Amino acid sequence: MTLTGGPDTKLELKNGWTSKMILNNFILFGAANSVDNFGMNSLSIDFNGTQNDLKTPSGHNKNAALYLLKCSHITVQNVKVLNNPGQQSLSIGSTDKNGNFLATDIKINGCSFINNTDAFPGNKQNDHSSIYLVADKAIVTKNNFVSGDKISKVATAIEAHTSNSVFSYNTITNYSTGINIVAIVGDQVNSSFDHNTITNVNSAFVFWGNGGYRMAGIKLLNNNITQAYSNDPIIRMSKTMKIYCLGLEIMGNSFTGKGNVNTKSAITGLVGNCIEIGLVKDVLIRDNKFNNINGRAVTLVNQGFKMNRIAILNNTFDNINVGGNPRYNKIIQLKSSGEIDSISIE
């Protein structure tokens, strides 16, 4: 089944929900059966956040335009989700109690997500992911994300609980976090994040891992990233990681920091580093451009663990430690009380 609109088709929530349910979704499929071969095409869905914001912190209202738990071969194309004060705009997929994916073969292409959460003054929602995806074999490409006219303090464009997936050529603007890369409800294996343009964010990529799941073979390739403020690193793999990542490639990216802002991160306690690597066995940082970084370009933040290889090759560093903080007067700091088998800096 494909739900298709025309060039002017809009579904709009005018003024208030008809019930007080926590899951206020436009299109909802329950978990009793699998949804297969469903498409959603050429629709605008307007949650009218000015009239329908959350007045009290009473939970996380999803407000999803499409909410699926168990599904396969789902295509969402040319869909616009506007003015969403809730928690998620597309919520697709889940895992079973053993961490096996219940969603596979998901395509999200050419969609737009405009105005979320704190774009509406007084909205009490404190967590938002425009795309919340838990799936194997997903392709998320050429989508446009604009959290609001100002930089969000709470919103994430994409939360990826995925394996064997590609996230490419997306444009992300004014979000607190560009993309969360997560292994806390299932494995995160063999996913690529490439050719994305991520502008005016706090962090571009944040890694999360816990619960005995696997993370391996993650590639961040040819992304263009500009930071809006620098409370956190542009790439953060530090205190949010409780498991090892077995292989991380950071190649061909352009990083432009905010610079000259000596505000400490509430999470790491550090100031404005570009890349903070933590629990990773092998990491390759190659052919990247670093500019106007407030602290260090690359730093190793976790202590007392075993790493196999760190390779930092053929990168360009301009204007590092522009904040002038003497604690951060190194371009690269690899300091560990654990073991590192191999370090190459060329």
Which pLDDT value is given to residue 29? 77
Q: What's the confidence (pLDDT) of residue 183?
A: 97
Q: Which of 271, 275, 336 is nearest to 302 (CA)?
A: 336
8 by Cβ neighbours in 10 Å (0-12 / 13-18 / 19+) ranks as exposed
Q: Return the closest-CA partner of residue 63 out of 110, 13, 9.
A: 13
Strand partners, 82: 46, 114
- Rounded to two decimals, what is the model's pTM? 0.94
Q: What is the pLDDT of residues 176-196, one digit of tens each?
A: 999 999 999 999 999 999 999
Beta carbons of 270 and 297 less than 8 angstroms apart: no
Q: How far apart are CA 133 and CA 250, in angstroms?
A: 22
Higher pLDDT, 311 or 238: 311
The pLDDT tens digits of the residues spanning 116-155 come to: 999 998 888 888 999 999 999 999 999 999 999 999 999 9
Compare 55 and 33 and report the one with higher pLDDT. 33
Who's near 49: CB < 8 A, 6+ residues apart? 83, 84, 85, 115, 116, 119, 120, 123
Identify the residue whose tokens are 């436009």.
26
* pLDDT range class, residue 21, cuts 50, 70, 90: very low
The stretch 207-236 carries a mean pLDDT of 92
pLDDT value of position 282: 94
Least confident of 37-46, 135-144, 226-235, 249-258: 226-235
- Return the minimum-mean-pLDDT range out of 171-180, 263-272, 292-301: 263-272
Q: 274 vs 174, 231, 268, 297, CA distance in Å? A: 18, 11, 13, 5
Higher confidence at residue 302 or residue 165? Answer: 165
pLDDT of residue 108: 98
Weakest mean pLDDT among 111-115, 160-164, 267-271, 340-344:
267-271
Residues linked to residue 10 through DSSP beta bridges, in sequence order: 44
Whole-number Å distance between alpha carbons of 225 and 234: 8
| Distance, CA of 18 to chain centre | 32
Show the CA angle centred on residue 160, arms to residues 154 and 166, nearest 5°: 130
| Burial (Cβ within 10 Å: 0-12, 13-18, ≥19) of residue 319 | middle
Q: In terms of pLDDT, which residue wins out, 245 or 122?
A: 245
- Please check whether residue 136 is in contact with residue 103, taking contact to mean a CB–CB distance below 8 angstroms: yes
Phi, psi of 27 (to 5 degrees): -125, 120
* For the ranges 3-7, 222-226, 276-280, the one whose mean pLDDT is highest: 222-226
Largest CA distance in the chain: 62
pLDDT value at position 267?
Answer: 64
Tell whether the model's pLDDT for residue 259 goes beyond 70.
Answer: yes
CB-CB contact of 110 with 142 (8 Å): yes
CA distance 245 to 193: 15
Higher pLDDT, 232 or 146: 146
Supply the DSSP string of 6-39, one letter for each residue.
-TT-EEE--S--SS--S---SEE--SSS-EEEEE
- In terms of DSSP H, where are the helices of the chain? none
> What is the Cα–Cα distance from 127 to 117, expressed in whole angstroms?
8
- The predicted structure's pLDDT at residue 57: 59
pLDDT confidence tier of residue 269, bands split at 50, 70 and 90: low
Does residue 51 register a pLDDT over 90?
A: no
Q: Look-up: residue for tokens 């789902």?
A: 74
Task: Determine contact, residues 202/152, Cβ cutoff 8 Å.
Answer: no
Give the residue from 115, 127, 109 showing the smallest Cα distance to 46: 115
Rounded to whole angstroms, the Cα distance separating 280 from 277 reads 7
| pLDDT tens-digit readout, 292-328 | 998 899 998 866 778 899 999 999 999 998 878 788 8
The long-range contacts involving 304-307, CB below 8 angstroms and separated by at least 24 positions, are 304/336, 304/337, 304/338, 305/279, 305/336, 305/338, 306/281, 306/338, 306/339, 306/340, 307/280, 307/281, 307/282, 307/283, 307/336, 307/338, 307/339, 307/340, 307/341
CA atoms 312, 162, 181, 336: torsion sign = negative
Cα separation, 158 vs 196, in Å, equals 12
Pick the closest to residue 111 from 168, 44, 47, 156 (CA basis): 44
Helix (H, G, I), strand (E, B) or coil at 51: coil
pLDDT of residue 13: 82
The chain-wide mean pLDDT, for the chain, equals 89
In the chain, what percentage of residues exceed pLDDT 70? 90
- How much is the pLDDT for 174? 96
